[in-house]
Amino acid sequence: MARFLSPAWFDEVRTNASGTTPQAGAPADDRLVLRQVVRGTPDGDVVYHVTVEAGCARLVPPGDEAGSPDLTITTDWDTAAAIAQGALAAQAALIEGRLRVKGNLAAIASHAGGLPGLDPVPAAVRDRTTY
């Protein structure tokens, strides 16, 4: 079992990501790049990307090219782990000041209808993840 945001965890996500099904009704030509910055993980600060394109979310590991981010989302390890485990809603973390968003907010607003339900982490990996 790989620990959340560790190099082994990113490898598991990549290995198990094939077969991602596009979300119904999502525009095929839209692309959104989210830069995720998590401070203070057991491996130090971790920066990775999530791309949303053609109704599919894909996690891009640290060091891989994802393109210029539309938004940068920054949080600490405890908050990121709580969100990933479903113990904290991202909206609540944002309201509490535990999650910061910077960049083109209009880009996310234009994708708002297609984002709920998108998850770049395969269920099999999520079930095996440790924190």
Residue closest to 59 by CA, chosen among 123, 122, 110, 128 = 122
The per-residue pLDDT string of the chain (131 residues; one tens digit each, 9 = 90 and over) reads 899 999 999 999 999 986 555 555 545 557 899 999 999 999 999 999 999 888 789 999 999 999 999 999 999 999 999 999 999 999 999 999 999 999 988 877 766 665 666 789 999 999 999 99
What residue spans of the chain are helical by DSSP H?
Answer: 7-16, 77-84, 90-95, 105-111, 123-128
Domain residue extents for the chain: 7-18+27-121
pLDDT score recorded for residue 6:
98
Long-range CB contact pairs, 91-94, < 8 A, 24+: none
Q: Per the structure block, which two tokens stand in for 84?
A: 């990933």
- Cβ neighbours around 63 below 10 Å, total: 9
In CATH terms, the fold of domain 7-18+27-121 is Nonspecific Lipid-transfer Protein; Chain A (3.30.1050)
Tell whether pTM > 0.85: yes
d(CA 31, CA 18): 19
> What is the DSSP secondary structure assignment for residue 17, as one 8-state letter?
-
